[in-house]
Structure 1
Amino acid sequence: MSFQDLGLSPKLLSALADAGFTTPTSVQVAAIPKALAGSDLMVSAQTGSGKTAAFMLPALNRIAQNADRGVGVQVLVLTPTRELAMQVTDATIAYGKNLSDLRTATIVGGMPYGAQLKALSRRIDVLVATPGRLLDHLQAGRVKLSTVHTLVLDEADRMLDMGFIEDIETIVGRLPKERQTLLFSATLDGNIAKLGATLMNNPERLELAGQKEKHSNITQSLYYADDLSHKLQLLDHVLRDAALDQAIVFTSTKRGADDLADRLSEQGFSAAALHGDMNQRQRTRTLTMLQRGALKILVATDVAARGIDVQGISHAVNFDLPMQAEDYVHRIGRTGRAGRSGLAFTLATHSERHKIRRIESFTGQTIDAQTIPGLEPKRSARPSSDRPGGKPFNKRSGPSRGGFGGGRPAFGGNGGGYEGRGKPAARPSFNARPEGAGGGYRGDRPEGGSRPERSEGFRAERSEGFRADAPRPSFGFRGDGDRPARPHGAAPAGAPRGPKPAFGKREGAPAKRFGKPAHAERRD
């Protein structure tokens, strides 16, 4: 089937031909005829499947048939992020270049109000916006939406995840009831189904993103890492692949993106970060460099990467695992665009096996675990419980904390106690305190007192349990064979119970020293 078979305007067909689009994708074949017929649609489609054209071409087709262009905003597209809004705007301009005097405006956060006020003071045919900033202008009376005939909710699931539901409901309340609504989402259940029932009129459901059919053109690989240092070595190996054109590396935190981008730059890679704390000028400059090929590696968070459509991205790397299994699909979809093949790599610690299983369950695909010669992980998912001195490690692989960047996960989440959610795991047991730590637990020190690589600026949380002016807490010292029983006040096995002797009153016992207990002096 060709675009000519879908019933589009000749002007749109000419623009598509000029842009090199000759064959519609499956989502376009399914959605465009129904949208041209005026139906409300709820569509689930994988990222990179051509869904922008699936909703924008029917909307522009309706504008092309409408001779009166001075009525006001006719098409409103709501997106979760600035980058996705920019992408939709660029596609709209390309598809509608043969429509006489088509005017498009973009209203997003992070951009100066002056330029937006100027755009809103003129006639607008297609308005692409993020909900928060549009609501600001709407409540200030700077934009009217009473003439909208087509509403598009692009990546509606992400907008709900970001807390835009109330903004969306307020905006939709200003739209005409007689309108067409097109909703696109990764899934159509749960809150998305409720939203569709509330905002749409007998919508047709098109579920084109069957989980087992996702990303057949992307080769997915999984590498297990023992700790942060091991993970960085694996990342270095992946990024030095001779077949790499451009890569996008995902972290779970903004600071983690900055740290990793800095580290890669120091190692000679052309790398930069992209995240929500950057202003629009910085984000636009970074994306422009990426699109022009001046930037080799982009280190990004999930939200910032939504909507990035750069065909030169050959590798997608999950340095930190995503919070939601669904985000994994969006991440790897940044490669393999427009039918090209792509490579997706996931770096996980042994403690994150359950997250890998959730991703596999969501996608219906098994991610093959592989090894790199010379960089194989330890065979055991957990370290031995024995270490010099008879004291066990914490129940995690490697040191209890890793990386750098005081109080935040190193590059997001890693095997050092963080699990990619942007918050620390449970505080370690006092049993895992290294020998000779004295007045407090130092979670950043692995066995032997050495620090993880690049730990500058890291300050481990200190326990308040060991103070020189307070008695030593008793938890964790049970004398049950895991470690020696406490030397003071402990009765021999089988001895009759009796009153406890006071500290310092036992025969032959050393003088009481609260600041430095006797058992802390041992160096076994």
Structure 2
Amino acid sequence: MSTFRQLGIPADLVKGLDELGIITPTEVQARSIPYLLKSGGDFVAQAQTGTGKTAAFGLPLITKIDPKAKQIQGLVIAPTRELAKQIAKQIFRYTKYYGEKIFVETLTGGEPMEKQIANLQRPTHIVVATPGRLLDLLKKKALTLIHVKHLVLDEADEMLSMGFKKELVSIFGLTRQRRSTWLFSATFPDSLQTLVKGSMHSQPEMLKVDKAHVVNQNIDHRYAVCGKDEKNEFISEFLDDHADERGLIFVRTKAGAIALGRQLEKFGIPVDVIQGDLSQRERDKVLRGFRNKRTRILIATDVAARGIDVEGLSFVIHYQLPEQFEYYTHRSGRTARAGKKGTSIALIDPRERKKIAKFEEALGVDFTEMG
């Protein structure tokens, strides 16, 4: 098993990783970092939530920055405000012991634009942004991308599914002088393949993580057979039995998430619900309470949960199995972070047993039935 130093990461960055408890490289890190450090050319990698992709591109990106040049040299694009803030925070943490200071700025919606414009007057080496806010600030001439050498797209498939194709094409056009494009994505739909072919300078290095490494190996996958009316009772009993643990419950629809939240509160279980109808202010309040451990259980829809990364979650419960295999990986990847173990529980009705077999085959995992 390689270490980060063996992969080529400088000792002062490794010191920062050690302090964060990031000791052993994940599969995507071990296979991405050497290429990105040495070549730094165009690169495409499959990387699910929870596989350590931020370090996979963040560490090499730091080494590509010239601290003496007070210009934006690295640009990271993420689909959501939460993910962008998490990426920026991690990159900042990595640089704690790193020679000369690397300055990182986050540009997302939901924050005062005037404050972001003022912050951009300071030296900035790396910008982490959501597509819409970045283009809004460019229109106001609050920043320039003419010195960007390295462009990173994280969760590129999510950005396309959220309707950001036009914005991404604009960003590619505004960074034509870049030396490289690094793209990380859980899936590669035709629309993303077309975008890659039309926007990268050269044939990219491709990394396809074996499916056995796509799903976090520290997750215990289980399922429970429940009738429709039995699911709430199962969840209530499970939460009572695991009263000291925190977790996420995924529901397919907004209405379903709200209804489950009300039902669990009737059982005396305090929960919060995050779904697409919340305003940014309401969403921030819910997430702040969850991160600060004021709330133990969070109920979420797949869309509303994009970008959520909270440490210390012991379990994920799937109120219904998702429609796509990739969504299961995204969901379950919220637990077992930073080398810890976690549990992913799918609640199914008796007719869905065949679905479990399909998920096992597609994801290379084994599910255990709960008694």
TM-score by length of 2: 0.90
Instruction: Identify the range of structure 1 (52-61 vs 15-24) with the bigger mean alpha-carbon deviation.
Output: 15-24
| 2:262 alignment counterpart | 262
By how many angstroms is 1:277 displaced?
3.1
Indicate yes or no: 2:225 matched with 1:224.
yes
What is aligned with 1:6? 7
Q: Indicate the SS of the match to 1:152.
A: strand
| Count of residue correspondences | 367
Q: Which moved more, 1:87-96 or 1:303-312?
A: 303-312
CA contact (8 A) 1:86 1:106 kept: yes
How far residue 323 of structure 1 moved from its aligned partner, in angstroms, is 3.3
Once the two structures are superposed, what CA deviation does each residue of 1:331-379 show, in whole Å capped at 9, x if it has no partner? Answer: 01111112221111112335656754553443144534444xxxxxxxx
2:197 aligns with: 197
Matched, 1:317 2:317: yes
- Paired residues for 1:299-310 under 5 Å: 299-310=299-310
Does the Cα contact within 8 Å between 1:42 and 1:188 map onto a contact in 2? Answer: no
Partner of 1:97: 96
Q: Aligned residue for 1:165? A: 165
Alpha-carbon displacement from aligned partner over 1:114-155 (angstroms, at most 9, x marks no partner): 322322343321111111222222233332111111111111
Asked if the contact 1:42/1:205 (under 8 Å) is kept, the reply is yes
Q: Which runs of 5+ in 2 are unaligned?
A: none
Please give the secondary structure, in 1, of the residue aligned with 2:314.
strand
Distance in 1 (CA, whole Å) between partners of 2:42 and 2:73 is 16
Instruction: Give distance in 1, aligned partners of 2:260 and 2:129.
Output: 31
Report the Cα distance in structure 2 between the residues aligned to 1:224 and 1:124, rounded to whole angstroms: 53
The verdict on how the C-alpha distance between 1:309 and 1:178 changes in structure 2, with shifts beyond 3 A counting, is closer
What SS does the corresponding residue of 2:304 show, helix, strand or coil? helix
Matches within 5 A, 1:6-25: 6-25=7-26
How many Å apart are 1:172 and its aligned residue?
A: 1.0
Q: State the AA in 2 paired with 1:116.
A: Q
**What is the match of residue 86 of structure 1?**
85
SS at match of 2:241: coil
The residue aligned with 1:297 is 297
What's the CA shift for 1:259? Answer: 3.2
Query: Does structure 2 conserve the Cα–Cα contact (< 8 Å) formed by 1:41 and 1:203?
Result: yes
Residue 303 of structure 1: SS of its match in structure 2?
coil
The 5 Å alignment of 1:76-155 reads 76-99=75-98, 100-155=100-155
The answer to whether the Cα contact below 8 Å between 2:51 and 2:214 also exists between their aligned partners in 1 is no
Match for residue 50 of structure 2? 48
Q: Which moved more, 1:326-335 or 1:130-139?
A: 130-139
In structure 1, the partner of 2:180 is: 180
Helix, strand or coil at the partner of 2:311: coil
Instruction: Give the CA deviation at 1:243.
Output: 7.1
> What is the rounded CA distance, in whole Å, between the counterparts of 2:247 and 2:289 in structure 1?
13
Q: 1:39 aligns with which of 31, 41, 45?
A: 41
Aligned residue for 2:63? 61
| Equivalent-residue separation in structure 1 for 2:89 and 2:254 (angstroms) | 27
Question: What displacement does 1:209 show?
Answer: 4.4
Counterpart amino acid of residue 265 in structure 1 = E
Give, as a single letter, the amino acid of the residue that structure 1 aligns with 2:59. L
More relative contact order, 1 or 2 (CA 8 Å, 6+ apart): 2
TM-superposed CA distance for 1:212, in Å, is: 7.1
CA contact (8 A) 1:12 1:61 kept: no
Specify whether residues 22 and 206 from structure 1 end up closer, same or farther in structure 2 by C-alpha distance, changes over 3 A only. Answer: same
- Structure 1 residues without counterparts, runs of 5 or longer: 372-524
Write the letter of the residue equivalent to 1:106: T
* Per-residue deviation, 1:189: 5.5
CA RMSD of aligned residues (A): 2.4
Residue by residue over 1:170-212, the C-alpha shift from the partner in whole angstroms, topping out at 9 and shown as x without a partner, is 1111003342111111134533333222222221111124257
SS at match of 1:173: helix
Match of 1:482 in 2: none
Amino acid of the residue matched to residue 49 of structure 2? T
Larger radius of gyration: 1
The answer to whether the 8 Å contact 1:239/1:247 transfers is no
Q: Which residue of 1 aligns with 2:331?
A: 331
**Residue 59 of structure 1, CA deviation:** 0.6
Distance apart, 1:88 and its partner CA: 0.4
Q: Percent of counterpart pairs with the same letter?
A: 39
* Deviation larger for 184-193 or 172-181: 184-193
Q: Which amino acid aligns with 1:293?
A: K
